[in-house]
Structure 1
């Protein structure tokens, strides 16, 4: 008889716990699919609406707390309910810690406890939770969260950081393989490849893999509403000089979370940069005609320096002297075997710049903008300096964003070491690899 009563009580608990789980599931669905039931104009109220919904759910959970507070599943659902907020919750930490003590096999409780430690700033404890969950069961949430935490842990040196980034890519890739339809996992894989790109020599293959993963994520109905996705992808678009896509990404991130200040600031900075660049190209850096002609009068092939030597090795690996060409004769893309030669007429210092930017004018008085990446803060060129760009990579930009249009050509230079300035190669100290930070908007920032 006692056994029957115990069995019946267990069945009752299961029913109540199932109702509680469905209640918390509904809360997460409300948060994650918010824009399926609300317009983007209501984005600014999302956090408040989610908190209000969380409060309603908590009230219903607390009605059952006296009879269920010693059940690990109840503690999991209460901790999960509290975890819907982007902020650390001591109550959530307590619930989840008790849940895993009662049942160490509760993978979801380990994962959410790891989230709480992350929000608290205890990355070691967070990592231990995700590792512990994976010891119980291989699952996509632990894999992708561990991928993120590994990139945030402080490293003793660049080699250690590089190894962690490589491991984080493997973990994120494994998470995707467990569920190729999960857009959040694709987003984390994109971030991992972005970190790998900037950590391991800026291999274009890694950049493309990041963009491919972000595209998969953006096609997912839940992940496409995450402002972090659009912001991080926009940063990569910006670096790749896909300025129109970058502006759209910053704008979309700002729409999805109007309370987050960084996306609109980045959008504003990039618009100001494009405005200034097009203006300076148009008026040749505002250099007066007489001064410009004086500057150009002493521009000759002697400025080619080592580029004129038969043994000169070009960035492409080609050996041999380069033929100087006018800017107007350069073709779109890589110009093999030739060099662009001109005088600096302006340089541009901008907030949050990706590249050191300057304009140069050739002997035909054609002006073009040059964007040099991975420069040390102390490196630069001065007005009237002679600059030679071996085998220039020419791009055409045609951008329209929010009723503003920009149209200009540029030359991309991936390192100052590729330039010849006043007849001389640049020293190694002129180069410092650029870094771009991923953002996890509801968790600490991930720096590369």
Structure 2
């Protein structure tokens, strides 16, 4: 005689119903394609309302009142916008059963959507007191980065944020959401603790792992935040594509499309300024060239240079045309500033520099203190210049220009004098937390 099939309880049936709702949301783009991404919120809301109606069918048979409130709260919390009804149901659930970890996690997400960061932190911390789980850990990682405090305290919070995200990944190495939040934590650590290239590498590796998961693939935050990192690395095409993908995944997210538009406009402006030598007139160009002299090399005129590692190396002056697309070790270039390039963001500070041969290049300076930018006519010397060739095509726009990247202004010579450490400031970071 065959064994009888096990009949699911009303609680299990209702739980499966809610799980299917979240599966519909998390796999929406995978199921319906990127072209339907703009319909996601509306379609999920429809499913949410259907799910609430179906829950009524089961709740009369569910004896556990805390479970009824949890199920209702989960359904109402499925949208990315704050729901006071969800908060009310989940608050009841944790009052009825303080050990209900899933209720604490969803309540914390409710508070997060409400911008009540402190309350969200208490929920995730409380959940972890009952059970170590990936959702609480990664959400706590996210919250820690948003807490305010003095610089030293902020560094500690970011370091703890990285640690919590690592723990979440260790609990489930295939969960792309945890990987994405770890990438964001690394990105904040990179900008907030001295910009160690190894940390940025770890950040990009985490984003790469996240993208393997279909759930994370449907999250616009992943592409937006990775685009921020690509932009900093001057991988402009990848940055543009990232902002574009984020905007397609969430057409209502104005910032993603704005960032793409602003970056493309900035690149077009840089290209135009390089090609036209800052639109300077012939007399102005001649005057700038005549102003250049050996004194503008400052201390580098001795042929000696102390690099980032504190090591003294020999350097020799060369022309801009002689530079190669790489870090030009043992070289120093000199030129005059012909224009500044406007950008809606403070980082990087961008200007165009021209030498005696009238060769013009863009120069992007990172970590420059506000108000310390170069002016037209300033004479510059740049040791061991890192040269990059920017060449891309995006949505019918072709961009091509040469660029020198300066990651620290303290080694620049301006009008014969070193800028020094007091002109350096850490870059300002914009990481999205729309739907982490």
After TM superposition, the score normalised by the length of structure 2 is: 0.95
Match of 1:19 in 2: 13
Partner of residue 240, structure 1: 233
Q: Does 1:254 align with 2:254?
A: no
Q: Is 1:42 the equivalent of 2:36?
A: yes
The residue number in structure 2 matching 1:8 is: none
CA 44–404 in structure 1, closer or farther in 2 if over 3 Å, else same: same
Partner of 1:266 in structure 2?
Answer: 259
Q: Deviations over 1:313-372 (max 9, x none)?
A: 234533255311101111222112211101111111211252110111111111111000
* 2:314 counterpart of 1:302: no
- Alpha-carbon contact 2:411-2:420 (below 8 Å) kept: no
Q: SS state of the match for residue 306, structure 2? A: coil
Corresponding residue of 2:409: 416
| Equivalent position to 2:394, from 362, 386, 401 | 401
SS of aligned partner of 2:373: coil
Query: How far 1:271 moved relative to its partner?
Result: 0.5
Task: Give the Å deviation of 1:72.
Answer: 2.1
Q: Could you tell me which residue of structure 2 aligns to residue 94 of structure 1?
A: 88
RMSD of the TM alignment (CA)? 1.8
**Aligned counterpart for 1:349 among listed residues 338, 342, 349:** 342
Instruction: Confirm or deny: 8 A CA contact 1:285 1:359 kept in the other structure.
Output: yes
Q: Distance in 1 between matches of 2:168 and 2:152?
A: 25
Match of 2:144 among 150, 153, 156: 150
Q: Does structure 2 retain, via aligned residues, the 8 Å contact 1:301–1:324?
A: no
Q: Deviations over 1:408-430 (max 9, x none)?
A: 21111112222101101115443
Q: Is this contact kept in 1: 2:137–2:168, CA < 8 A?
A: yes
Residues matched between the structures, number: 431
Match of 1:133 in 2: 127
Q: Counterpart of 1:161 in 2: which secondary structure?
A: helix
SS at match of 1:357: strand
Matched ranges for 1:94-113 at <5 A: 94-113=88-107
Structure 1 position 74 matched with structure 2 position 68: yes
Once residues 102 and 53 of structure 2 are traced to their aligned partners in structure 1, the CA distance between those partners, rounded to angstroms, is 22
Contact 1:324 1:339 in 2 (8 A): yes
- Conserved in 2, the CA contact under 8 Å of 1:130 and 1:143? yes
Aligned to 2:185: 192
Residue equivalent to 2:217: 224
- How far apart in 2 are the matches of 1:295 and 1:95? 70
Secondary structure of 1:222 counterpart: helix
Quote the Cα distance in structure 2 between the aligned partners of 1:291 and 1:136. Answer: 71
Residues in 2 aligned to 1:15 and 1:93: alpha-carbon distance in whole angstroms: 26
Relative to structure 1, the CA distance from residue 317 to residue 338 in structure 2 (aligned partners, 3 Å threshold; closer, same or farther) is farther
CA distance in 2, matches of 1:385, 1:178: 55
- Residue 4 of structure 1 is matched in structure 2 by none
Deviation at 1:91, TM superposition (A): 2.2
Task: State the distance in 1 between where 2:305 and 2:92 align.
Answer: 68
After superposition, give the CA deviation of every residue in 1:276-319 in whole Å (9 maximum; x if it has no partner). 11111111111122321232123122110111236642345332
CA contact (8 A) 1:309 1:320 kept: no
The verdict on how the C-alpha distance between 1:118 and 1:298 changes in structure 2, with shifts beyond 3 A counting, is closer
Tell me: CA distance 1:385–1:302, structure 2 relative to 1, closer, same or farther (3 Å).
Answer: same
Give the structure 2 partner of residue 293 of structure 1: 286
Unmatched tracts of structure 2, length 5 or more: 1-5
Equivalences for 1:288-367 in 2 at 5 Å?
288-309=281-302, 312-320=305-313, 322-367=315-360
* Separation in structure 1 between the aligned mates of residue 347 and residue 193 of structure 2, nearest angstrom: 18
Q: Which runs of 5 or more residues in structure 1 are unaligned?
A: 1-10, 444-448
Runs ≥4 residues deviating over 6 A: none
Q: Secondary structure at the match of 1:76?
A: helix
Calculate the TM-score normalised by the size of structure 1. 0.92
Q: Secondary structure at the match of 1:101?
A: helix
Aligned counterpart in structure 2 of residue 387 of structure 1, from 380, 388, 391:
380
CA distance in 2, matches of 1:38, 1:353: 39
Q: Aligned with 1:333: secondary structure? A: coil
CA displacement, residues 38-89 of structure 1 (integer Å, 9 cap, x when unaligned): 2322222211111111011011112344453752222211111111012222
Tell me the CA shift for residue 264 of structure 1.
0.7
Separation in 1 of the partners of 2:405 and 2:30? 41
Match of 2:161 among 154, 159, 168: 168
Q: What SS class does the counterpart of residue 428 from structure 2 fall into?
A: coil
* 1:100-140 residue CA offsets vs partner (Å, 9 max, x unmatched): 23333322111111111222222222112111211221111
Is the 2:30–2:218 Cα contact (8 Å) retained in structure 1? no
Say if 2:10 and 2:61, in contact at 8 Å, map to a contact too. Answer: no
C-alpha separation in 2, matches of 1:64 and 1:259: 35
Write the distance in 2 (CA, Å) between the matches of 1:306 and 1:145. Answer: 50
